[in-house]
């Protein structure tokens, strides 16, 4: 008996494999697998999870497509029938055109006495989506679309087999109609599309059943590698008793043009509360001083030209407006460590000479982190935000390679990429973060993590994780507001802030 499906927890780091790698693993496993077949294992895993999720279900409706994902659904129906359940299956395939394994699964379901129906039952207690799996490359249509619409309209929870139908396994993009599942059982491997772009909303709680393939392929040469990682709680950091403010790094926030000083204050507040030893604010608005003193008396004010940037971690761009263009060259050439956000990213996108200076920082061993949202990423890449969102992994990799620095591509399933490294997808956070100022808070926290001595990718992963975790722990009855987020955010291992 194989172990049951494993619930994927954001705290544990997991490797992700794209469709090409998954299909290769599937082929290698098929060549070595004794009876029962891989499809039977998939069907059994689906049935076990369905029964665990809905133990008192009277009617389980399985919508099965014509391909191998539908074969998994047919095998699941046969297993559920053998377990004493009464599944109803709508199969969109044809035995004469099906693969050998899918045709065998159809025979198993018929012999088990499964009820086949062209229409869904009136009130299913659980729906199983076995329509497309990882085979989807275009929007569902015809009877596939009708099944998806019926699944979403009936109100019953949905368990997707391998992938919610209509979701791209590699990118998390949906071309049109797609399933929104409460649970997804990923088979053989975890796919990146489950965790970024539209994937988190479509997949719900993700489970993994590797179907025993690890044991089957133990010692086999040439196995495909992972394309990314997801999750993984950062290690706690301890502030030693025998430390002082100079031990935890200095951060300067450069931004806050007239009318936008709040963004720079948010970044400075986040850097302070995240544990930076000293925080300076170099506001581009000369009138911002009284507001800064009232809001953040522990933050020191300076003018941009009065700072020795080669000894500082610089966060530049938060509320910078057009004025940030005049100070960005000095930050690019002089900052010991640099976080480039918001208007500083737009200035970079519009100036090839600034981009050249950015790439030269890597040659001098000066770490840089870019923190674009999709539109800012699109400007840097010379494309549009829709193209970025259609393949967030590719966009993050391209930015990291093009500018030779660490990139934090914000959004659902924020991506962290560095040149030549394995991209990382963050697993914390929720829709509460979709409000003004939360990006400024992230930039400030990231600056503090860099100032504490973390390497750029490690600092980015930690700050993004903690930023999302703070949102996940936000009280249900309170709206998330960026200034409160900045005060509640703390580095891992530090006591939670009050208020």
Please state, in angstroms and rounded to a whole number, the distance separating the CA atoms of residues 346 and 379.
7
Residues 397-435: pLDDT tens digits? 999 999 999 999 999 999 999 999 999 999 999 999 999
pTM of the model: 0.96
Q: Are the C-beta atoms of 114 and 120 separated by less than 8 Å?
A: no
Rounded mean pLDDT of the chain? 94
Burial of 315 (C-beta count, 10 Å sphere; 0-12/13-18/19+) = buried
pLDDT reported for residue 341: 98
Query: Residue 230: what are its φ and ψ, rounded to 5°?
Result: -135, 150
Domains of the chain: 6-221 (3.40.50.10260), 245-488 (3.40.1190.20)
Position 393 pLDDT exceeds 60: yes
Half-sphere exposure of 467 (CA within 13 A, CB side): 35
Tell whether omega for the bond before 36 is within 30 degrees of 0, i.e. cis. yes
User: Could you tell me if 77 and 42 are in contact, meaning their C-beta atoms sit under 8 angstroms apart?
Assistant: no
Burial classification of residue 479, based on how many CB atoms lie within 10 Å of its CB (0-12 exposed, 13-18 middle, 19 or more buried): exposed
For residue 267, what are the contacts with CB-CB under 8 A and spacing of at least 6? 253, 255, 315, 318, 341, 440, 441, 443, 444, 447
**CA gap 206, 459 in Å, rounded:** 27
Q: What are phi and psi of 369, to 5 degrees?
A: -125, 125
Tokens representing residue 137 in the block: 């490359």
Report the interhelical angle of 261-273 vs 438-451 (nearest 10°): 40
pLDDT on residue 97: 95
Is pLDDT of 310 > 80? yes
Q: What confidence category does residue 495 fall into, taking pLDDT thresholds of 50, 70 and 90?
A: low
Mean pLDDT calculated for residue range 22-35: 89
Whole-angstrom distance, CA of residue 359 vs CA of residue 84: 64
Q: How far is Cα 235 from Cα 203, in angstroms, rounded to an integer?
A: 28
- Which uninterrupted H or E stretch holds 161? strand 158-161
Question: What tokens were used for 70?
Answer: 């539908």
pLDDT(38) > 90: yes
Predicted confidence (pLDDT) at residue 339 exceeds the cutoff of 60: yes
């Amino acid at each position: 008996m194989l172990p049951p499906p494993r619930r994927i927890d954001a705290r544990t780091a997991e490797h992700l494999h794209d469709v090409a790698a998954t299909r290769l693993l599937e082929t290698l496993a098929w060549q070595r697998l004794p009876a029962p077949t891989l499809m039977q294992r998939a069907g059994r895993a689906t049935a076990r999870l369905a029964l665990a999720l809905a133990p008192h279900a009277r009617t389980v409706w399985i919508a099965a497509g014509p391909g191998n994902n539908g074969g998994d659904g047919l095998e699941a129906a046969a297993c559920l029938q053998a377990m004493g359940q009464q599944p109803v299956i709508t199969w969109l395939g044809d035995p004469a055109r099906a693969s050998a394994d899918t045709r065998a699964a159809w025979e198993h379901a018929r012999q088990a006495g499964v009820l086949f129906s062209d229409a869904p039952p009136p009130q299913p207690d659980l729906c199983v989506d076995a329509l497309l799996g990882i085979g989807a490359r275009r929007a569902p249509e015809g009877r596939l679309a009708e099944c998806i619409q019926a699944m979403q309209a009936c109100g019953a929870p949905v368990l997707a087999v391998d992938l919610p139908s209509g979701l791209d396994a590699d990118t998390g993009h949906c071309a049109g109609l797609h399933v929104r599942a409460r649970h997804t059982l990923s088979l053989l491997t975890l796919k990146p599309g489950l965790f970024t772009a539209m994937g988190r909303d479509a997949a719900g709680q993700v489970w993994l059943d590797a179907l025993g393939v690890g044991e089957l392929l133990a010692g086999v040469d040439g196995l495909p590698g992972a394309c990314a990682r997801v999750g993984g709680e950062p290690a706690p950091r301890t502030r030693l008793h025998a430390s002082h403010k100079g031990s935890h790094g200095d951060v300067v926030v450069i931004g806050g043009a007239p009318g936008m000083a709040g963004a720079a204050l948010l970044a400075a507040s986040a850097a302070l509360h995240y544990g930076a030893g000293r925080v300076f604010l170099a506001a581009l608005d000369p009138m911002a001083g009284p507001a800064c003193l009232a809001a953040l008396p522990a933050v020191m004010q300076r003018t941009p030209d009065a700072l020795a940037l080669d000894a500082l971690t610089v966060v530049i761009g938060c509320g910078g407006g057009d004025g940030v263009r005049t100070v960005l060259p000095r930050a690019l050439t002089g900052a010991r460590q640099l976080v480039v956000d918001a208007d500083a990213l737009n200035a970079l996108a519009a100036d090839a000479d600034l981009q050249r200076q950015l790439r030269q920082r890597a040659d001098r061993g000066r770490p840089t982190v870019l923190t674009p949202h999709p539109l800012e990423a699109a400007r840097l890449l010379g494309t549009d935000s829709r193209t970025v969102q259609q393949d967030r992994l590719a966009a993050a990799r391209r930015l990291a390679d093009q500018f030779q620095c660490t990139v934090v591509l914000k959004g659902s399933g924020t991506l962290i990429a560095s040149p030549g490294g394995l991209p990382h997808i963050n697993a914390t956070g929720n829709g509460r973060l979709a409000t003004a100022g939360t990006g400024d808070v992230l930039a400030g926290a990231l600056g503090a993590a860099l100032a504490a001595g973390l390497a750029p990718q490690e600092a980015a992963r930690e700050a993004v994780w903690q930023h999302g975790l703070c949102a996940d722990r936000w009280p249900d009855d309170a709206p998330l507001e960026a200034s409160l987020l900045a005060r509640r955010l703390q580095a891992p291992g530090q006591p939670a802030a009050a208020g």
